[in-house]
Chains A and B, each alone.
Chain A
Amino acid sequence: MDHRPQAWGRPRDDVYGAYDASYLNHSAPKTATQSPIVTGTSVIAIKFKDGVVMAADNLASYGSLARFTDVKRLRTFLSASVVGFGGDVSDMQFLDRHLNELAIDEAYEHETTASVSGPAPGQLNAANLHKYLSKLMYRRRNDFDPLWNQILVAGVDGAQQPFLASVDLRGTTFTSPSLATGFGAMLAQPIMRRYAATEEDAAKLTRDQAVDIVKECMKVLFYRDARSLDRYSIAVVTREGVELKEDEQLEKQSWAFAERIRGYGTQTV
């Protein structure tokens, strides 16, 4: 006789056999994004005097296959902010749809005078948007269903100052005068930090300088990152709004450095 209270009033295993609990096991592992599939590589951005420049190439890779070569990974939000996505492309597209909804809601709430383009007062600015995205990403990581992206958000904040911040799949957030995701953190960030080590340095950069720095970084990334492309998008965001160019070609490439690389190719010396 089993005297434990848990057993009271239940069929005895030794008489009826063990209870078949297999039906309780309907849970196959959750099929959330457990790892990224089609991916975008680096996004880079740097602050300057009146705003932020951001760039990302137009490639979506399937592993080592350059699968889609015309994928736009920068998007504008309410003509006031730019969001750049690295990592999983399907999650990026989900976020893109979600941000469209948010933008529509926000546009309803704060009616704009039709003639004026650019950000309307009272609408979500880049800092607000970044906060929202960070909550969204952190929530998804808490649910063990992460959106597999690292995101850069650029624009101006509530005090009308240039704003640039990052959020990743775990909801970690940070800001810096220049930011880069993925390989960019190793290859582009050191270059950008040469020009904008501090906020004060960044506040001295002109728009043209910032664009040049970013273009230079995109070139370095194309040279060294095997999952990159020479067609890219570049956005400049200021108080006046966003200028986004989505089909730029990398210019003035020089592969002269490659001749001096030894040990990877067919060379014998």
Chain B
Amino acid sequence: MAAMFSQNPLMNGPNYSFNDAPTVNAPEGARQHRFDPYTDNGGSTLAIAGADFTVMAGDTRLTSGYSINSRHHPKLFKIGGTTADQKDATLVLSVVGFAADGEALKERLDVICKMYRFRHGKPMSAKACAQRLSTILYQKRFFPYYAYAILGGLDEEGKGAVYSYDPVGSYEREQCRAGGAAASLIMPFLDNQVNFKNQYIPGSGEGHALQERERRPLAREEVEILVKDAFDGAVERHIEVGDGLQMMVITKDGIEEVFLPLKRD
């Protein structure tokens, strides 16, 4: 900043106080011991949107370093129900990264959804909630929630909707998304199996003439198998993923939740 204004020929010296006050550097050799407010608690999440459903999933391991803190720590949360048990919720938030920030983010969003209900007498739509979540994250742009969030629900037409976020709130609606420690392992698998990337119709031509396999929405059973396979693969190759698989299926009839075992090694 200072260098920028020193370009002024008249100002070959110290700058204005209001641009940036001079900072006193710590004396030579003084050690600045700073508290690091973040840790990475590992784990992985995944969401796939279907024609009339959304499947959200996450493993239930919570780590710090090489230690497993807990083998059962859910990363998926129902959001915006009227009661504490979230029986009538219609949205699911998954968070992965720093667990305490994830928890705080979830509670912020849930309270906001509850206040929305008080004010408007109806639940928040997936689209509105997605936009609001983005602003919540961006409000802490300079001390971010270190959490990769995915929001799942159904849109106004009843189609599956998945919104994925970075820690400072940029977001987009997608067909599917993997987040967290094993995202780089799961995402390419999803590209291939959900969006049929690199799948071509056999014998349809050579090189650029090759025709892509036509995309079709996956059935719920297919998706559930895909999710399990994705996590079984991730568990095999990533030490921070394992123990249990939490899966939520959002349909017009509500949210079904299942827990499946994963390898605990």
**Is any CB of A less than 8 Å from a CB of B in the complex?**
yes
Give the B-binding residues of A (Cβ under 8 A).
1-2, 4, 6-7, 10, 12-14, 18-19, 21-22, 24-25, 29, 34-35, 134, 138, 141-142, 144, 146, 166, 170-176, 185-186, 189, 198-199
Residue contact B23 to A2, C-beta cutoff 8 Å: no
Residue contact A176 to B23, C-beta cutoff 8 Å: no
Residue contact A2 to B21, C-beta cutoff 8 Å: no
Tell me which of B11, B19, B70, B104 contacts A138 (CB under 8 A). Answer: B104
Query: Counting CB contacts under 8 A, is B198 at the interface?
Result: no
Tell me which of A2, A21, A35 contacts B17 (CB under 8 A). Answer: A21
Chain A: minimal CB distance from B28 (Å)? 16
10 closest residue pairs by CB, A with B = A18-B14, A171-B100, A21-B17, A174-B70, A21-B21, A19-B17, A172-B100, A176-B70, A24-B21, A174-B69
Please give me the residue from chain A that is nearest to B20 by CB atom.
A21
Residue contact A170 to B32, C-beta cutoff 8 Å: no
Residue contact A25 to B21, C-beta cutoff 8 Å: yes
Tell me which of A4, A29, A138, A172 contacts B41 (CB under 8 A). Answer: A172
Residue contact B24 to A25, C-beta cutoff 8 Å: yes
Separation of A134 and B102 alpha carbons in the complex (Å)? 13
A-B contact pairs, 27 of them (CB 8 A): A1-B10, A2-B8, A7-B16, A12-B10, A13-B11, A18-B14, A19-B17, A22-B22, A22-B24, A25-B23, A34-B33, A134-B100, A138-B100, A141-B100, A144-B37, A170-B100, A171-B100, A171-B103, A172-B39, A172-B69, A172-B98, A172-B100, A173-B100, A174-B62, A174-B70, A176-B69, A186-B67
Please give me the residue from chain B that is nearest to A145 by CB atom.
B35
Pick from B41, B69, B72, B143 the residue with the most CB of A within 10 Å: B69
